[in-house]
Chain A
Amino acid sequence: MALQKVLGIETEYGIIVRGGESNPIAASSVLINAYVQELARNERGAASTRVGWDFEDEHPGNDARGFNTDGSLPPEVETHLVNAVLTNGARYYVDHAHPELSTPECADPRSIVVFDRAAEQILQRSMVAARNLLPEGQEIVVYKNNSDRKGNSYGCHENYLMDRAVPFGKIVSHVMPHFITRQIFTGAGKVGTEAAGLTSADVPYQITQRADFFEEEVGLETTLKRPIVNTRDEPHADAQKYRRLHVIVGDANLSEVATFLKVGTTALVLSMIEDDWLQRDLVPARPVQTLRHVSYDTTLARPFELADGSSMTALEAQWELLDRGRKYAEDRGLDCIGGDDVGREVLRRWESVLTGLEADPGSLAGQVDWIAKHRLIDGYRERHGLAWDDARLAAMDLQYHDLRPDKSLAARVGLERIAGADEIDAAMTQPPPDTRAYFRGRCLSRWPESIVAANWDSLVFDVGGDPLRRVPMMEPLRGTQAHVGSLIDGCDSAADLLQQLGQ
């Protein structure tokens, strides 16, 4: 039986300093520190940079194919940089030269939408807070996109908890076709191309931000020779039972519907893989080329060749996966993606978006980012009689992703909302109730002075006198409100809590 898919999204944001010299690492640090300091002033213990990130259990060099390359790769974590743990259970830090926010672990795709939007609002608050720390006339601006249009890309990664017993090769062959074809509703759109040897004349507009940057089918890298299926094997949980599929091939979405479907359909496909539900192999004959082929085909009509010699379009592949998903739901239920209500909503929206893509893609301008962006930019292009390589269109492409509410174009195109304003506000500081993020977030909120370090699968307490104590959290679905809510509420101190936990 498929595991419940505990989910998370990590987003690296683009960052610039307007009116000043732009050192992205310094700017990212200022941005995050400004937010944390403002919280510390306003709300007791709402977050703390004093609580360090604990790298004890990080092994980004572990490969799911069964070997370890730690030492041969450039270091993935830079311990001296800002690294805040928030009371909503998220991690907010500087990664390479970008501000990055990893959502807390979420138990269903709707919850992911809420926490992804809360992350946007945290970045928005950070930009405002940073203004006070910068010289007059300077401003830090953050973009939720994946490319600077000059060949530099940064990621929006998804994470899915999976059963360790499923052979990795089986995951690869069945999830690859979904990654390649889901682009038609997950793409955030891009004017032109950054692929070597191609120009705007070849690709005036494409479906995704990211397809230009993938060169391998399977691999461990995330920064060079990016693979469609990433093999990083770092479960942040009991490694005997679980793996965490680390997905790097997606775009960052502004549309909530797109985020919901990106994560919801993928969680369902992975569940079907765990339960041996996908018999037909839809792997393209040339996966890397096909990733681009799909991204470059805004008509959605051009078929690609499968490894078995047959051919199909991305839409046909998605219809087939949806059809399997429906039958799977009837037979096995939808607990794997968070239960019946949210699971049916995934199926309903999946069907609705495929129907729209087939009949009239323009009708999805409120749901699919690449269509919303295309409609806006193509409308502007026609009105002013511009060529596709005009800088004004490239500027609009970037500005679609500007997170400042008064500048964002995505905020103006009428994207449909799934999450409510109140629940997004709450999710900026409160953890999801139904994963271990609840334990992390609530402990940080109650006793920040007693926590010296945190990471995904443990908290380290200093309650004075005794040695530091590590509380492991190796089960992502334990430490929920149902498990520990009244325990935490009933404790007066961290020492009290540790005693109650038998530590």
Chain B
Amino acid sequence: MAEREQKKKQAPAKSDEVVEDTPAKSEAGEKIKGELDDLLDEIDEVLESNAEDFVKSYVQKGGE
């Protein structure tokens, strides 16, 4: 770990890291994809039922 940090500090890092992170990337990508389907199923139950009315009635005064 310490060695890896050392290496990062010395190298200008950018291109290095892209290569290093590639395997982790696709793994994480797969996981995220699988989770997305579950998430979409889950939120179906909580989504505002009449989207059009809801969006229309969400009116704020400017602030700050």
* Interface residue ranges, A against B (CB under 8 Å): 12, 14-16, 22, 24, 95-98, 100, 143, 147-150, 152-155, 157, 222-223, 226, 248, 319, 323, 326, 351, 355-356, 358-360, 362-363, 365, 375-376, 379-380, 383, 390-392, 394-396, 398-399, 406-407, 409, 412-414
Given contacts A360-B29, A407-B46, contact A355 B60 (CB under 8 A): no
B43-64: CB near A (< 8 Å → 1, else 0) gives: 1001110011011011111111
B48 A98 Cβ-Cβ under 8 A: no
Given contacts A363-B29, A407-B46, A412-B43, contact A95 B36 (CB under 8 A): no
- Nearest 9 A-B pairs (CB), nearest first? A154-B63, A395-B51, A97-B61, A222-B64, A148-B60, A391-B52, A155-B64, A392-B51, A12-B63
A395 touches which of B13, B35, B48 (Cβ 8 Å): B48
A149 B58 Cβ-Cβ under 8 A: yes
B60 A154 Cβ-Cβ under 8 A: yes
A414 B17 Cβ-Cβ under 8 A: no
A395 B61 Cβ-Cβ under 8 A: no
Q: How far is the CB of B23 from chain A (nearest CB, A)?
A: 11
CA distance A152 to B62 in the complex (A): 5
A394 B40 Cβ-Cβ under 8 A: no
CA distance A390 to B51 in the complex (A): 9
B61 A24 Cβ-Cβ under 8 A: yes
Q: How far is the CB of A304 from chain B (nearest CB, A)?
A: 20
B35 A414 Cβ-Cβ under 8 A: yes
Residues of A within 8 A of B42 (CB): 412
Given contacts A359-B22, A359-B25, contact A154 B58 (CB under 8 A): no
A96 B17 Cβ-Cβ under 8 A: no
**Tally of contacts, chain A with chain B, CB under 8 A:** 127
A398 B22 Cβ-Cβ under 8 A: no
Question: B2 at interface (Cβ–Cβ under 8 A)?
Answer: no
Q: How far is the CB of A334 from chain B (nearest CB, A)?
A: 15
Find the B residue at minimum CB distance from A404. Answer: B46
CA distance A22 to B13 in the complex (A): 53
A152 B59 Cβ-Cβ under 8 A: yes
Residues of B within 8 A of A392 (CB): 47, 51
A360 B25 Cβ-Cβ under 8 A: yes
B61 A150 Cβ-Cβ under 8 A: no
Question: B39 at interface (Cβ–Cβ under 8 A)?
Answer: yes
Question: B1 at interface (Cβ–Cβ under 8 A)?
Answer: no
Q: Could you jot down 26 A-B contacts, CB within 8 Å? A: A16-B58, A24-B60, A97-B61, A98-B61, A152-B61, A153-B63, A154-B60, A222-B64, A223-B62, A319-B14, A351-B8, A358-B18, A359-B17, A359-B25, A360-B21, A365-B32, A376-B39, A379-B36, A380-B40, A383-B40, A390-B51, A395-B51, A395-B52, A398-B48, A409-B46, A412-B42
Residues of B within 8 A of A390 (CB): 51
B25 A363 Cβ-Cβ under 8 A: yes
Given contacts A360-B25, A365-B32, A407-B46, contact A379 B40 (CB under 8 A): yes
Q: How far is the CB of A465 from chain B (nearest CB, A)?
A: 42
Residues of B within 8 A of A409 (CB): 43, 46
B58 A398 Cβ-Cβ under 8 A: yes
